[in-house]
Structure 1
Amino acid sequence: MRCTRLCSTLMLLALFLLSCSSGTDTLQQPLPGTLPALQGEWVNMVVEIPAGTNKKIEYDKASGQFRADQRNGADRIIDFLPYPGNYGFIPGTALPVADGGDGDAVDVLLISESLPTGTQIVVRPVGALRLLDEGQVDVKVIAIPADSALQVISPADFTDFSIRYDGARHLIESWFLQYDGLGAHQLQGWVDEERALAFIKASVAE
Structure 2
Amino acid sequence: MHRKLKDTPLGTPEQFNVVVEIPRGSVDKIEYDENKDEMHVDFVFKDGFTFQYNYGFIPHTRTDDGDTLDAILLGTKPMASGTVVLCRPIGVMRQIDRGQVDDKIIAVPVGDKETQKYQSVEDISQEEIKQFILFYAEVARQKQKTIEITGFEDKDKAIEAIRKAMI
* TM, length-normalised to structure 1: 0.72
**Whole-angstrom CA distance in 2 between matches of 1:167 and 1:86:** 18
- Stretches of structure 2 lacking an aligned partner (at least 5 in a row): none
Q: 1:166: which partner in 2?
A: 126
> 1:189-204 to 2 correspondence within 5 Å?
189-204=151-166
- How far is 1:119 from its partner? 0.2
Q: Tell me the matched-pair count.
A: 163
Q: Greater helix share, 1 or 2?
A: 1
Confirm or deny: 8 A CA contact 1:129 1:173 kept in the other structure. no
Kept after mapping to 2: 8 A contact 1:124/1:146: yes
Quick one: which amino acid aligns to residue 69 of structure 2? V
Structure having the higher Rg: 1
Deviation at 1:84, TM superposition (A): 0.7
Task: State percent identity of aligned pairs.
Answer: 29
TM-superposition CA deviations, 1:59-110 (whole Å, max 9, x none): 11111111111xxxxxx112362111101100000102xxxxx210011111
For 1:129 and 1:148, locate their aligned partners in 2 and report how far apart those are by CA, in whole Å: 21
SS of residue in 2 equivalent to 1:33: helix
Q: Aligned match of 2:16 in 11, 20, 43?
A: 43
Aligned AA for 1:63?
K
Match of 1:187? 149
Higher percent of residues as strand:
2
Alignment RMSD (CA, Å)? 2.0
Q: Once the two structures are superposed, what CA deviation does each residue of 1:24-64 show, in whole Å capped at 9, x if it has no partner?
A: x7xx6x43221222247311100011000110111111111
Partner residue in 1 for 2:135: 175
- TM alignment of 1:1-40, pairs within 5 A: 30-39=3-12
Q: Given the alignment, which residue of 27, 31, 44 partners 1:77?
A: 44
Runs of 4+ in 1 over 3 A off after TM superposition: none
Instruction: Name the TM-score, length of structure 2 as normaliser.
Output: 0.88
Q: Which has the higher contact order (CA 8 A, sep 6+)?
A: 2
Identify if the C-alpha distance between structure 1 residues 50 and 94 changes in structure 2 by more than 3 Å, giving closer, same or farther.
Answer: same
For 1:177 and 1:190, locate their aligned partners in 2 and report how far apart those are by CA, in whole Å.
16
CA contact (8 A) 2:14 2:89 kept: no
Preserved contact between residue 133 and residue 185 of structure 1 (Cα < 8 Å)? yes
